[in-house]
Structures are given as structure tokens and as C-alpha cells.
Amino acid sequence: MDRIPDPAVVVLGGRVAWTGRRSLLPPEWVGARTVDGRGCWATPGFVDPHTHLLFGGDRSGEFNRRLHGATYAEIAAEGGGILETVRATRTASVADLASAGEARLAELHLRGVVHVEAKTGYGLDLESESRLLEAYAFLRRAGWSLDVTLLPGHEVAPEFAGDAEANARAIAEDWLPELVRRHPGVAAFCDVFVEKGVFSVDQGRRIFQSGQALGLAPRVHADELGWTGGAELAAELGAASADHLMFCSEAGIASMAAAGVTPVLLPGTTLFLGMRDWAPARRMIEAGCAVALASDFNPGSCPCLDPLLVLRLGCLQLRMTFEEAFTAMTLHPARSLRRRDLGHLHPGARAAILLWDLADPLELVYWLGADFRPEFPLAEEP
């Protein structure tokens, strides 16, 4: 993260054409129409590389049960948890899903998030996953900057209860090809919840390989509630990302670093689930990984649309420096989404520029709980 004193940014046709010290501004730009930054800090917009944006209902009832002592695993075993949201999502209309999604994207955008990765995964059958893709396609047509990830392997579907193997086969052989055929160009990634009691590493591998054959790059829900080898699988597949990683092994870290897999850490989820094991961000950074941070926005384990809380937890509990955490909210997630024009302000970047009226960007973290909102000097439409 470079800091440029007294900077100027030249924007042409919605792209950054030049960035540098104002005193070095090339003569051809002198006299162009200017927007005064008034001494604010200009930064790239945040990129959120892991959300479950679309779902029906909420899970505040289950949350209250957890506060009274029930565990996430107990609730799931009773048919609650993800499956409760699946029921509410299957009965929601595409219009209702898209409308809720738009409100959530607007909230994220107000707080500086200019691009979002968003997963399916609360349908868990072909038709319901297809309707989620329809809603995402609508949101993209409406102008929201989104990357979509297919996640029919978010949980073993109720129709396949007790038979994850058959569910994985249906996803790999039938659902993924059909979803891509029905909605060409909507999804760019594929994800599977690889975890004890959900899908095994072998089942995950088969789903991911099917997705890769369809042009979907893997993003892996890995090592969230215990070690399963999800990070190692992500490295083997050359995945775009491995996400969660609270229980990632040293070998998993080394393999991600060697394979260029982006670890996406979700500290809001650790906080919301009341866990005491935070992802080993420092060890990943020391191993050479380009760590990213994400909200994990979802109704069960992190109903949070606040990028500043994620940034703050990255510094305070994952023990990243401010520069590491800020890069983990901008450049690194953009890279994991194959978006070379986001997460920075170098020439070629999309001009999704934020202005922060602060003496130093570090204050975003330091004034814990302050609801800082950026300005959008170019009033870029979402």
C-alpha cells in the first residue's frame, strides 16, 4: 500500500489514467475539469470476496437459542441452521430475493464496498439454485458490480439427507452443467462446503473438477469448524481462494502460498459464533500468502454488512498491520476474483474511488465503533 503525498488521480472514461504527486501531473492533464479532494484520503473502494448475499428469512430465533447455550452443531442436527434458510429461500420469489439483495448491496456500497462476490447455496436443488442465479443476473443487469459463485454444495440437501455422496454426484454431474447452460456467463466460480459432516475432500474435488470443466474457478469453504484438508485441496486444484481457514494446518498454509491460492479470512464469523480460535493470519502472511478479508454476510453465522468491522477485526484480532488489512480489503480480494481493475488506483483501475475525511486512514480502525462513511467524489453509480 503506497501513500502518495499531495496526490492527483486522472480519470478518463471511468478508468484511472494516471496517479501520482500533483506536482508531477503530466502537462496534458493540467487544466482538466477537477474534483477537489479537500485534503481527504483517496483510496480504492473495498472488494468483498465472500458473501451469501441472497436468502429468504433471517435466523434471529436460532441466534437467540445460541445465546441461551445451544450450539451451532446442535441446531443444525435438529434441521435448523442452513436448512432453515433453505426452506425460507425456496418459498421466496425471485423478485423478493433480488429486492432484498439490492437493499444489502446498497448498504454495503454506502460503506465503501464497490464490488461483491455473492454465492448461491440456499436453494440446494436445481430449480431453487437456478432461481438464485436468475436473481443475481437481475442484479447485474441493474448495474451492481458482482461476481457470482455457484454453491449448491453448501450443505447436504434435505432430499439427500444421509447421502452426501449421491448429493455430490448430482451436483457434479447434473446440476452444475445445467445451471451453467441455463444462465450462461452469470457465475464465474464454484464453491463447496468441505467440512466434517458436510462434503468430504473427495466429494469436494469431484464437484470442483466438474466446475472447472465448465469454466468455473474453485473457491473453497475450507477448515472452518475443524481441520479437513480444505486448504490443501484448494492448492491442489489451483483454486482462486480458500475461505474461513480457522483450523488450517501449517502444510495447508505452505501449499496455498506455493500455489498462489488467496486465503480469504472471515473474522466477523469468528466473532459472531463466539469462537476463540481466530484464523492464523500472521502465519499465512509470513508464509507469503496474499491474505484477503471478507464479511461472510449470511443469516446464520455473520449477519454483518460492515466492512469497517471486518477491517478492525483484521487488525485487532488477526493481528494484521493496518496496511496489510487494508490491502486485504482491496487488492488481494480483487486478485482472488480475477479483477485486475479493482482494489487499486494505478492506471487501468476502475475509478471506484473513495474519499475519507480523516487525518490518517488508520483512524478507520483506531476509532473503534465509529461509523465512518466514505464520499464518492465521482458519484459513481453502483
Task: Give the binding site for its own copies (CB under 8 A).
Answer: 58, 60, 63-64, 67-68, 268, 271-274, 276, 302-306, 308-309, 315-317, 319-322, 360, 362-363, 365-371
Alpha helix stretches (DSSP H) within the chain: 60-67, 72-77, 82-90, 94-110, 126-141, 164-169, 176-182, 201-213, 230-237, 250-259, 267-272, 281-286, 307-316, 322-327, 331-336, 363-366
* Nearer residue to its own copies within complex by CB, 28 or 323: 323
Alpha helices in 159-303 (DSSP H): 164-169, 176-182, 201-213, 230-237, 250-259, 267-272, 281-286
Name the minimum Å distance from CB 199 to its own copies. 27
> What's the closest the beta carbon of residue 67 comes to its own copies, in angstroms?
5
Q: Fill in the DSSP letter of residue 260.
A: T
Q: Compare residues 33 and 276 and give the one whose CB is closer to its own copies.
A: 276
Q: Which is nearer to its own copies, 100 or 273 (CB)?
A: 273
Min dist. Cβ of residue 285 to its own copies (A): 12
Query: Within 10 Å of residue 289's Cβ, how many Cβ atoms?
Result: 23
Smallest distance from its own copies to CB 112, Å: 13
d(CA 321, CA 317): 11
Judged by CB, which is closer to its own copies: 118, or 309?
Answer: 309
Q: Closer to its own copies by CB, 101 or 268: give it.
A: 268
235 by Cβ neighbours in 10 Å (0-12 / 13-18 / 19+) ranks as: buried
**Dist. CA 10–CA 340, nearest whole Å:** 18
Distance, CA of 252 to chain centre:
20
Q: Which residues, at least 6 apart from 25, have a Cβ–Cβ distance to it below 8 Å? A: 8, 10, 18
Amino acid of residue 269: T
Query: How big is the CA angle at 265 (ends 263 and 270), to the nearest 5 degrees?
Result: 150
Radius of gyration of the chain, Cα coordinates, nearest whole angstrom: 21
Q: How far apart are CB 28 and its own copies at their closest, in Å? A: 38
We find the least distance from the C-beta atom of residue 245 to its own copies, in angstroms, to be 18
Nearer to its own copies, 312 or 350 (CB): 312
Shortest spacing between CB 216 and its own copies, in angstroms = 30
**In whole angstroms, how close is the CB of 247 to its own copies at the nearest point?**
16
Residue 139 CB, shortest distance to its own copies, in Å, is 21
* CB closer to its own copies out of 189 and 322: 322
Closer of 58 and 375 to its own copies (Cβ): 58
d(CA 112, CA 47): 9
CB of 179 to its own copies, least distance (A): 31
The set of long-range contacts for 126-132, using a CB threshold of 8 Å and a minimum separation of 24, is: 126/152, 126/174, 126/175, 126/178, 126/179, 128/86, 128/89, 128/90, 129/175, 129/179, 130/178, 130/179, 130/182, 130/183, 131/94, 131/97, 132/54, 132/89, 132/97
